[in-house]
Structure 1
């Protein structure tokens, strides 16, 4: 059975920004769970090679909530062009996926 669950990835520049964004997303019930990880990002911006320490947010949500989730991330983000990408969760432990769906209110 195909899932309607998604994982949305975004990065922020600090733990404080991550905490603010997590609070907004969970309180608005656009995400059921958000995990964080310290990462190093290498990218090109304005024609320059960049390397920054960032916090990766791994956001569990649903397809139905994605549009509002994306708008909320962008509206509350410090970056001019934040990464916001969604990956489908093709399958998973059914009780977990049911819990996820119950805690997201698009």
Structure 2
């Protein structure tokens, strides 16, 4: 039996409409248990050789490591960025009941 490995995925979007579309798609496909949408973050970065600054939304996605490739595939059709930020961080500790809920939800 495979051991469940919870992860938190961070993903930025250009606006709330895109963030909600990403969340709706991932939840409908049961690829995550929860998406928190932080509606206003300011991102500063280099893109195509130039310094950029942009107002974005941040999606905080709770899921399992085994679903990461499927999450990337599901997001691409609804995400307008050429290179969407999809970064997964391992959960090193968490409320056992919450993590069990995440596992049950995505299983």
Contact 1:14 1:55 in 2 (8 A): yes
For residue 63 of structure 2, the aligned residue among 61, 64, 75 is 61
State the secondary structure of the residue aligned to 2:106.
Answer: coil
CA distance in 2: counterparts of 1:73 and 1:6, whole angstroms: 17
Cα RMSD, aligned residues only: 1.3
- Specify every segment of 5 or more residues in structure 1 that has no aligned partner in the other structure, as ranges: none
Contact 1:3 1:91 in 2 (8 A): no
Moved over 2 A (4+): none
Mapping of 1:9-88 within 5 angstroms?
A: 9-37=10-38, 38-88=40-90
Partner of residue 90, structure 1: 92
- Specify every segment of 5 or more residues in structure 2 that has no aligned partner in the other structure, as ranges: none
Superposed displacement of residue 19, structure 1: 0.9
Superposed displacement of residue 65, structure 1: 1.0
* TM-score after normalising by structure 2: 0.91
Contact 1:3 1:90 in 2 (8 A): no
Tell me how many residue pairs correspond in the alignment: 104
